[in-house]
Structure 1
Amino acid sequence: MFKYLVVFLVLSVKLQAQDSLFVKVHFLYGSKPQKAYKKTQSKWFGGKLGGHVGIELDSNQILNFIPKGKFHIIAHKKNRHSTYTTHNFEDFYSIMGGNWQENKKLIIKIPISQKQKEHFLCIQKNYLTQTPYDYAFLGIRCGAAAHDILGQLGILKHFSYRGTIFKVFYPKIVRRKLLKKAQKQGWQIQKQEGTKERKWEMD
C-alpha cells in the first residue's frame, strides 16, 4: 500500500510540474503625449499604433524583436537590420522611454506543454544566434515576430512569412487575438493602466 502511495505522489508531482508550465506574453501599449505634457513626455515610435510585445518563459528574460542599424522601409533578405534579444521586466517596459512603472502594460499567462517549452527554447536559441528576418516597415516588426513564434508553438494560427507581414501589422492585432482566447480558455491576465500624462491605445 505504501509503495503505491509513493508512486502516486511521484506521478502527481510530475503532472503538477507539467501543468505549471507556461509562457507570458508581455504587451507595452502604444501611446503619445497628452497636449498638456508634450514638453515633458516624449514621442514614441508608432504612437498609439506602436507599443511593443515580447514572450517570456517565466525567467524574467523577455524575448523580443527590435531594429538594429538603419531602419528599413522595405525588408531586405540579406542585409538584415534586426535582432532578437532578451530584456528583463524593467528594461522591456521602458524600451520606448518613460518610467516603466507608469507605462500601460498587459501580461497574458498561457499554459504550455513540455514539448511546447522545448520548442520555444529551441526557437529562442536559434533566433538569438541568427536573426531570421529583417526589421522593416513593410516587413516583420515586433508584433509579427511574436505572432511568428506563437504560431510555431500552436498557440495562434501559423502564417507564412508574407501572411505574417500583411495580417499582423502591429502588436494590437496579436493582443486582441490572445485576449479573445484568454477569455475562452480562462488564461490569467494582468493589466496595469498607464500615466494620465499620455494617451494610451485601447484594446
Structure 2
Amino acid sequence: MKSLAIILLFISFRAISQSDTLIVEIIYGSKPLSKNGAHWFGGKLGGHIGLTIGEDSVMHFLPGGRVAATNINSDIGKYIISNKRRFYRTFSSDTLKTCRIFIPVTSTQKQQLLNDSKSFLKEGPYPYAFFGMRCAAACYHLLSLADVTKDLSRSKMTWKFIYPRKFRKHLFKEALKNNWKIIETKGDSKRKWDHD
C-alpha cells in the first residue's frame, strides 16, 4: 500500500511538472523605403505581437472597432486565435522581420493561461486605444496569467509596453537571464525596419 502511494505521488508530480512551451510571435514594425510601398498600421514603431498557445494557434489582441487616443473613446478590443500563417499575414507581406521567443512552462502554467483567458475570446477585457492596451501590453497580460511575467495593473502594462519595441527589449532581457531560445528572421530590404 505504501509503495502504491509513492507511485501515485510520483505520477501526479510528473503530470504537474510536465513541460510545455509558449512562443511569443513578433512581427517588427516598418515603413517603406519608396513612395510606392505599403504603409502599415503603426509604421516603424508598430508591428504585431501574439502568443502561440497550441500547435497552430496564435492568440493576439486587435482593435474591436474605433481606436481613439484613450480608453474612454475607444471600442473594446478583441482577442482572436489565428493559425500561424494568418497571423504572419497581418500585413500582407511574405518577407517580414520576425522574432520568436520560446518560453518553457509547465503544463499547469499553460492550462492556467488557457482557463483564465478563455473569456477574453468571447468579450475583450479592455478597450484598444493608442494610449491604452495594445498588442504588446496584451501579450504581457497573457504571459502574466501563466505566471511567466509579474502581475501588473492595466495602467502599468499600458505605459511600460506601449509599443512592441519596449516589450521586445523586456523579453530579450528575460530570455538572456532564463536561457530562452530566440529565432529571428530578416525582413524585406525594401522596407526600413524597427530595431532593438
Question: TM over 0.5: same fold?
Answer: yes
Q: Is 1:24–1:58's contact at 8 Å kept on the other side of the alignment?
A: no
Which of 134, 142, 161 does residue 141 from structure 1 map onto?
134
Percentage of pairs with the same residue: 34
TM-score by length of 1: 0.84
Q: What is the match of residue 181 of structure 2?
A: 188
Tell me if 1:82 matches 2:77: yes
Structure 2, unmatched stretches of 5+, are 1-6
Q: Is 1:42–1:97's contact at 8 Å kept on the other side of the alignment?
A: no
Paired residue type of 1:73:
A
Tell me if 1:59 matches 2:55: yes
Counterpart CA distance in 1 for 2:67 and 2:86 is 21
Counterpart CA distance in 2 for 1:137 and 1:27 is 19
Counterpart CA distance in 2 for 1:143 and 1:114 is 24
Counterpart CA distance in 2 for 1:161 and 1:90 is 30
Which of 159, 169, 173 does residue 176 from structure 1 map onto?
169
Per-residue Cα deviation, 1:78-135 (whole angstroms, up to 9, x for no partner): x733210011111111212322xx1111000100012211111113311101110000
Residues 120-135 of structure 1: matches in 2 within 5 Å? Answer: 120-135=113-128
SS in 2 for 1:136: coil
Structure 1, unmatched stretches of 5+, are 1-6
Give the ranges of 4+ consecutive aligned residues of structure 1 lying more than 3 Å apart after TM superposition. Answer: none
Per-residue Cα deviation, 1:166-187 (whole angstroms, up to 9, x for no partner): 2111111111111111112111
Counterpart CA distance in 2 for 1:163 and 1:181 is 18
Counterpart CA distance in 2 for 1:168 and 1:179 is 14
Q: Is 2:101–2:183's contact at 8 Å kept on the other side of the alignment?
A: yes
Q: What is the match of residue 38 of structure 2?
A: 42
Q: What is the match of residue 30 of structure 2?
A: 31
Q: What is the match of residue 86 of structure 2?
A: 91
SS in 2 for 1:44: coil
Give the superposition deviation at 1:198: 0.5
